[in-house]
A and B are shown apart, each in its own frame.
Chain A
Amino acid sequence: MFPRKKVLYAGGAAAGVIAALLTALTGSSAQADDLVTHHEFQVNCTVHHRATDDPIVFPNMPGASHEHSFVGNTTTNAATTLDSLNAAGAYSTTCLNPDDLSAYWWPTMFRGDQPVIQTWAQTIYYKSGILDYQAVQPFPQGIRFVVGSPAATEDAFRTAPGAVEGWECGDSFHNWDFPVSCPAGTQLNIRYQAPSCWNGHDLDSADHKSHMAYPVNGVCPSTHPVPVPMLEFKIAFPADGDLAGIRLASGRGFSWHYDFFNAWDPPTLAALVSHCINGGLQCDSRGFDLYKPDRGQALGDNYRLPGRP
């Protein structure tokens, strides 16, 4: 799994070099900031509620899950469907984008019996998981999947294709369970990447995973030929000092996982994917790249498509 990821990262760098070379060869319009270093936008959302619900794994059965912290759509519960997410209406979300009615959730962290409350905005990246970032397409409406596994072993978590640097705080990285302690004032962070290749027909599957696959050597496999954005949740918990009492509702640190249920307004998601991912930018939630201001922004200052009040 590690060599595969290295190839993927190396490929990303190679793609950038090729883009730079092409720019240099084409001459006239060559500018330093045409170098493509990123192909992403981020959404920022605060935790709205906590509940022992999981509308993907345990649909219509409140109380059937370990506790989750929900961000995004404010109505998410055990009975959530695409229709219920859409019915909530624009602005019914804790994300900056009023038209992102998607639901996102992960296991709540506890210190002993007390939840570790996340009070600030969390970051969810939408990136390209493949080399050909110009081929990434928006998620279909209603697609939902689980990333990682609450039943993973420590070794499975460490070698998973979604693993980035494990749990980290201060100068401590690559922890595949919680570190023993974190320096005072630091946060306990986790980044984990989702599969970004879709089989093209199923919005869900029995295990809530097999309709999605990770790219292989930077390309979507033939069984899952449709490249969609690669989600990367970057989640921070205010846990420092002695971490002996720290656990997830799903168990040890290596039980980390998260869920996504897409209910973006399709034209808004399409605009962000096209401008930021296909366009090779490093965008904020308005589709604006601070380092390439000349490229403009996909959405208005109100985080909505132009013309929407």
Chain B
Amino acid sequence: MPLRLTALLLLGVLTACAAPATQPPPPTATVNPAYNPTDAAWLELMIPMDQQFLQILDLAPTHSTNPAVRRLAAQLAPGHRTELQQLVALRTQAGLPTSNLHEGHDMPGMMTADEVVAIGNLRGAAFDKVLASEIQDHLSQSALVTRSVKAAGHSPALKTLATRIEKARTQQLVFVRTSGVGHQTPLS
């Protein structure tokens, strides 16, 4: 390669590298205008809810000795994993930060950090009882906020997912009712 061309290319690279420094820093976060504040609130809540729920469900094979409980957890987990991926994809599209706004808070439908530690130390029937209560809380609370975003949200893609999740919740609550788990430990 002739030296002059190399020099030109090098100059081009240098210029490209230098350019950003001369411009004002980009805004910290550009939220996609297709997503309204209710859309954002839903994504930023559903993601930590699902993450924590999967973390708890994943304890069932090692912490429960009840086949019905293990079966219920196995029924609920795959759908939630898929749903979580779809929620994260929308969060990226919306340009929202990935930090958990609710970190350390006592949230409806979620366990506190202390409660997550506590359930990890339970086995057998004691574990089943707390898990059954958490399953009920998670499903009903996430269905509630999902109905809200269907009413007050804006993004069509997001509302399509919300509609799918609301249907899934109805079906998942049927799983719970027919699993026998709810009969053994009354659910509030």
> Which one of B85-93, B99-107, B163-171 contacts A?
B99-107
Q: Is the CB of B37 within 8 A of A66?
A: no
B73 at the interface (CB under 8 A from A): no
**Given that A64-B145, A206-B29 are known contacts, is A59 also in contact with B103, CB under 8 Å in the complex?**
no
Give chain A interface residues in 189-239, CB to chain B under 8 Å: 206
Most buried by A among B105, B109, B149, B152: B105
Q: Is the CB of A61 within 8 A of B38?
A: yes
Q: Is the CB of B38 within 8 A of A66?
A: no
Specify the chain A residue showing the minimal Cβ separation from B103: A151
**Given that A61-B45, A61-B148, A61-B152 are known contacts, is A66 also in contact with B109, CB under 8 Å in the complex?**
no
B151 at the interface (CB under 8 A from A): yes
B42 at the interface (CB under 8 A from A): yes
Nearest CB of A to B83, in Å: 17
A67 to B107, CA, bound (A): 8
Q: Is the CB of A61 within 8 A of B149?
A: yes
Q: Is the CB of B144 within 8 A of A63?
A: yes
A175 at the interface (CB under 8 A from B): no
Specify the chain B residue showing the minimal Cβ separation from A210: B28
A59 to B39, CA, bound (A): 9
A43 to B99, CA, bound (A): 36
A173 at the interface (CB under 8 A from B): no
Q: Is the CB of A252 within 8 A of B38?
A: no
A67 to B108, CA, bound (A): 8
Q: Is the CB of B105 within 8 A of A63?
A: no
A52 at the interface (CB under 8 A from B): yes
Nearest CB of B to A176, in Å: 16
Q: Is the CB of A250 within 8 A of B45?
A: no
**Given that A60-B38, A61-B148 are known contacts, is A66 also in contact with B101, CB under 8 Å in the complex?**
no
Q: Is the CB of A61 within 8 A of B145?
A: yes
A132 to B166, CA, bound (A): 55
Specify the chain B residue showing the minimal Cβ separation from A206: B31
**Given that A151-B101, A251-B104 are known contacts, is A60 also in contact with B151, CB under 8 Å in the complex?**
yes
Q: Is the CB of B144 within 8 A of A62?
A: yes
B141 at the interface (CB under 8 A from A): yes
How many cross-chain pairs have Cβ atoms below 8 Å apart between A and B? 67
Specify the chain A residue showing the minimal Cβ separation from B109: A63
**Given that A61-B149, A63-B145 are known contacts, is A110 also in contact with B106, CB under 8 Å in the complex?**
yes
A247 to B107, CA, bound (A): 13
Most buried by B among A63, A65, A206, A251: A63
A150 to B37, CA, bound (A): 18
Q: Is the CB of B104 within 8 A of A59?
A: no
Q: Is the CB of A66 within 8 A of B41?
A: no
A36 to B109, CA, bound (A): 52
A150 to B107, CA, bound (A): 13
Q: Is the CB of B148 within 8 A of A250?
A: no
Contact partner, A66, options B31, B106, B148, Cβ 8 Å: B106
**Given that A66-B102, A151-B101, A206-B29 are known contacts, is A61 also in contact with B42, CB under 8 Å in the complex?**
yes
Q: Is the CB of A62 within 8 A of B148?
A: yes
A63 to B105, CA, bound (A): 13
Specify the chain B residue showing the minimal Cβ separation from A62: B148
Q: Is the CB of B105 within 8 A of A58?
A: no
Chain A residues positioned under 8 Å from B151 (CB to CB): 60
Contact partner, B37, options A59, A62, A67, Cβ 8 Å: A59
A223-267 near B? 1/0 per residue, CB < 8 Å: 000000000000000000000000101111001000000000000
Specify the chain B residue showing the minimal Cβ separation from A107: B105
**Given that A61-B149, A63-B144 are known contacts, is A251 also in contact with B41, CB under 8 Å in the complex?**
no
Nearest CB of B to A92, in Å: 23
Chain B residues positioned under 8 Å from A59 (CB to CB): 37-38, 41, 152
A247 to B41, CA, bound (A): 24
A57 at the interface (CB under 8 A from B): yes
A138-155 near B? 1/0 per residue, CB < 8 Å: 000000000000110000
Q: Is the CB of A52 within 8 A of B108?
A: yes
10 new A-B contacts, CB < 8 A, other than A64-B145, A67-B106, A255-B104, are: A59-B152, A61-B41, A61-B145, A63-B109, A63-B141, A63-B144, A206-B29, A250-B104, A251-B104, A255-B105
24 contacts between A and B (CB under 8 A): A52-B107, A58-B38, A59-B37, A59-B152, A60-B148, A60-B151, A61-B152, A62-B144, A63-B108, A63-B144, A63-B148, A64-B42, A64-B45, A64-B145, A66-B106, A79-B152, A110-B106, A151-B99, A151-B101, A206-B29, A250-B104, A250-B106, A251-B104, A252-B104
Residues of A at the B interface (CB closer than 8 Å) are: 52, 57-67, 78-79, 110, 150-151, 206, 247, 249-252, 255
